[in-house]
Chain A
Amino acid sequence: MSTLADLTIHEALDLLDSREISAFELTQAVLSRVAATEDRVHAYLNLDAEGALAQAAKADKERLSGLQAALLGIPIAVKDNISTQGIETTCGSKILKGYIPPFDATAIKHLKDAGAVILGKTNQDEFAMGSSTENSGYGVTHNPWNLDRVPGGSSGGSAAAVSVGEALGALGTDTGGSVRQPAAFCGIVGLRPSYGRISRYGLIAFASSLDQIGPLTRDVEDAALLLSVLAGADPRDSTCRPNPVPTYTEGLDTGIKGLRIGIPTDYLAGQGIQPAVAKALKEALACLEEAGAELVELRLPHTQYGIATYYLIATAEASTNLARFDGVRYGIRIAEEGTLEQMYAQTRGQGLGEEVKRRIMLGTYTLSAGYYDAYYIKAQKVRTLIKQDFDQAFEQVDILVGPTTPTTAFKLGEHITDPLQMYLEDIFTIPPALAGIPCMSVPCGFDAEGLPVGLQFMAPPMEEAQLLKAAYAYEKMTRWNKRRPVLC
């Protein structure tokens, strides 16, 4: 049954502003949906129902007193690797059990300043390492379209929550595809902004040169709305860009007539693309052409090296980023007896999951004396080549379009014993992440089993406005995003 919980953010804002509904009612509707579906989906690690209702009531009062704010009274879910003051933040890891941040991430501060209602923290692959949310230290999340399927990952909890109506929108994070891939698997919109567009302060780092916070929403307009709130310079994050933040919701509907859209052929050939995905892509391209875009086939020749490059750089950074989880200052400590080294070994041995340990080992090896040049430095060089692929492509075209993932949502447990197969899920999402360019996944159809397919749009650095415009035009023509999973 459709309720207020199924509204998009901009629809809800219209109703709130015209006083047809209250933020309290809206939050209640979302909490009712959580009550109805959460036992099957398990999107949340920590739901703050009481806090959310209090924030909603406050938002209603503020609206009555004439306050205007971009997200006043909108219930939003937050991935568990983003620090929330006073709310346990575990990153999906047992090692951070009980850790309550004394500060808000800059993105959370922006959300709160805009009047958003924070619902709670969503499930994820531990430290954002994974593509299925099966690597969580706190149980798996189920895809609302088919409960036997994964929701994607690592922002699987956020994607599932938005998809099934347990939140109107959510924050995820994307290191190599962790916003776009779950968005594709759950039939929603997932935006990864340019590197440096949204502050990383308070985002618990996996791979610092790749991590970006991004919104997961039910349509492109909502993504634009959230991005306008979240983006902007931050003196606490030196990698955050100072570029002014446009109002991304403005000019969305100017159309794509004459827009040059590049189709990277390397994203099509021999990459294990399922027929349903290939078909959806073909139809999407036809649709874009019909809207007046000019399609240009081109090459991104270093695409095939993306995964190898990514797994060297990301794990190298992760191996040091995760060194702070040593049992000394926060989270769990396992050290009944024994030496300092035993405390480290026990705390990290038991507190961290298999995939996380695997990546720490890989990264440590990559940075070790005698291997650094062959692995880390070489990977950095290839990263530059991949960036140059995109630079050259964007000399010819305005936007690139391709599949978000080679397949639709796979079965729970299907890849769990084969990490390499799991890594291949990110083959199309990794290269733009390495290049630091903005990119997003938009629903573009369903396979025979009714599982959603995602279409990936990519734009030059800091050209989010262009990216959103193209995605918006496509969405308006197809309306795949209007279809919702039915669990109740």
Chain B
Amino acid sequence: MKYEAVIGLEVHAQVHTRTKMYCGCPVIEDTGQLEPNTYVCPVCLALPGALPVVNRRVVELGILTGLALNGTLQPVNVFARKSYFYPDLPKGYQISQYELPLMTNGYLEIETSNGIKKIGITRLHMEEDTAKLYHEAGKTLIDFNRAGIPLLEIVSAPEMHTVEEVKAYAMTLRDVLVTLGLSTGDMEKGQIRFEANISVHPEKSQKLGTRTEVKNLNSFRALAKATDYEIQRQISLLRDGEMVIQQTMGWDEQQGKTYPQRSKEESHDYRYFPDPDIPPVEIPTLWIEEIRNQLPELPLAKKQRFIKTYRLGHYDAQLLVADYVIADFFEETVGRRPNLSPQDIANWITGEIFRLLKERQLTLKESGITPPKLAKLLQLWHTGTINNNVTKVILAEVFNTGIDPEVIVKREGLAQISDAQTLNTLIDGVITAHPQQVTQYLHGKHAVLSWFMGQVMKETQGKANPKEVQNLLRIHLEQRRFS
């Protein structure tokens, strides 16, 4: 019997506003790097008597996301208390949204090998992050720097059926959030976290199976592997005539397995009710329209435009649009040198520049490379003033220092030697010095040509224009035939 999987995703994304969700403490992207409990105040520590105040900017970014996800925005937003005891939750409740979330009934378009598909989004709401717990030597330490960082929770409809779809959805959503400027999308820093609701049922049956919820998936890899594992686990249970138990699962990265955390009977009653400390937040149409005007082009639309306008390959277009900073960088570079092929520019960005970004652990903005500098450099490369290898060397230096590529070329004398007179003298010298190899060439061993080539390059430290050298070498050698 064949089985079909039904998967829905819950995504928690940190929102990088200046201040936290309900207090004035700064939002720090990677709180793990900070001295613990230094970005805290009475509100995010839940000291007695402290009160929350909603961060208006988060509502704005929430609306922006709601618009990007094509949903219906709630005109009156109610914040609710979600109660449970845990040391990472200082108030004993999380201020979230329950009955009237910011957005409902949206969708996200994803692209898989089967083409474009719409995945429904049930709801989007605002809430706050918890503190971070560190378990050390039988003790638990708490760092409240993360407590109160704004989160958007985005819940998809159970409309995905394959790991490929799940991955495409997760990555597309990440790209959207990055494009909207509310996240840097850095999974390693826990900025986007996933929970997958998974069930399987016989392909012929209409009735959905019992679902499990896999929590704490903090990378695309973990998401894909856990989803795949859980689907297979459930299918083999059903094949063996057993039942799937409705429960919450954890993911053991080391063992590559899901494991039960708690069953339905043990699940929390969160006792949601409207937070009396926060009056309902009204969202007038005028505000929505103002925000709609700020809506940037979304990655999938941009990708299609890049393929059409710049004739880029699918893969390169995908790489460029994943981060709007990179996409903008690409377009700006193209705009500066219309004679360069956009595909060439894309190749240099997704090749060398991506390699450097990864190697140096920098963002594009932190590096020294800018669209005018890249355009200048590639112009030198395009006209043959510098060869491939030299271009790479200069790019690395511009990347590190921000020095103008033309200045580097001049300072280092890196320009390619294409001048015929200089090359003629050089080649003549090399040929005269190696009569034995000349004889070999003249007796038909043409491979010797490459050897001569190497000699010339050695003499010029690689700066000789290889095409020119090859031409001139042939002419010089053929001349010896008659001398």
Task: State the A residues within 8 Å of B (CB).
Answer: 81-83, 89, 91, 96, 99, 101-103, 105, 200-205, 207-209, 235-239, 316-317, 319-320, 322-326, 328-330, 340, 344, 364, 367-369, 372, 376
Contact = CB atoms under 8 A, between A and B. Distances in A.
A289 B55 CA distance: 51
7 contacts: A83-B48, A99-B48, A202-B49, A237-B51, A320-B81, A323-B83, A376-B273
B279 A330 contact: no
B87 A238 contact: no
Interface in B141-180: 142
Contact of A344 (B47, B85, B278): B85
B277 A236 contact: no
B87 A326 contact: yes
B94 to A, nearest CB: 11
Interface string B27-63: 0000000000000001001111111111000000000
B381 interface: no
Contacts of A205: 49, 277
A96 B48 contact: yes
A103 B51 contact: no
Interface string B68-94: 000000000000010101010011110
A203 B49 contact: yes
B51 A324 contact: no
B444 interface: no
Given A205-B49, A238-B51, A324 B277 contact: no
Chief secondary structure at chain A's binding surface: loop
Nearest to A83: B49
Nearest to A234: B51
A350 B406 CA distance: 76
Q: Which bracket fits the contact residues of B?
A: 20 to 34
B473 to A, nearest CB: 79
Interface string B266-290: 0001011101111100000000000
A328 B142 contact: yes
Nearest to A317: B276
A376 B271 CA distance: 11
B135 to A, nearest CB: 12
Contacts of B91: 320, 323-324
B273 A367 contact: yes
- Listed from nearest, the 5 A-B pairs whose CB atoms lie closest are A323-B92, A209-B276, A367-B271, A208-B276, A202-B49
Contacts, number: 101
A95 B277 CA distance: 23
Nearest to B23: A236
B276 A329 contact: no
Contacts of B52: 238
A102 B47 contact: yes
A323 B48 CA distance: 11
B90 A324 contact: yes
A325 B142 CA distance: 16
Contacts of A238: 51-54, 277-279
Contact of A105 (B49, B93, B279): B49
B46 A324 contact: yes
Given A201-B50, A328-B142, A364-B271, A320 B277 contact: no
A95 to B, nearest CB: 10
Of A205, A320, A367, chain B has the most CB atoms within 10 Å of the CB of A320
A392 B87 CA distance: 47
B48 A204 contact: yes
Contacts of A320: 81, 83, 91-93, 271, 273
Given A320-B83, A324-B48, 17 more contacts: A81-B49, A83-B48, A105-B49, A202-B50, A204-B48, A204-B49, A237-B53, A239-B277, A319-B271, A323-B91, A324-B46, A324-B90, A324-B91, A329-B90, A330-B47, A344-B85, A367-B83
Contacts of B45: 329
A101 B54 contact: no
A81 B49 CA distance: 8
Contacts of A202: 49-50
Contacts of A368: 269, 271
B59 to A, nearest CB: 13
Nearest to A370: B269
A458 to B, nearest CB: 22
A236 B273 contact: no
A99 B42 CA distance: 13
Contacts of B277: 205, 208, 238-239
A125 B54 CA distance: 32
Given A238-B278, A320-B93, A340 B87 contact: yes
A236 B42 CA distance: 11
Interface string B300-334: 00000000000000000000000000000000000
Given A103-B42, A368-B269, A323 B93 contact: yes
B47 A103 contact: yes
Contacts of A328: 87, 90, 142
A109 to B, nearest CB: 12
B49 A201 contact: yes
A91 B48 contact: yes
A204 B48 CA distance: 5
Nearest to A369: B269
A36 to B, nearest CB: 33
Nearest to B83: A320
Contacts of A83: 47-49
Contacts of A102: 42, 47
B173 to A, nearest CB: 30
Given A320-B93, A324-B92, A101 B271 contact: no
B56 to A, nearest CB: 11
A91 B47 CA distance: 13
Nearest to B140: A340
Contacts of A319: 83, 271
Contacts of A207: 276
A340 B86 CA distance: 9
Contacts of B142: 328
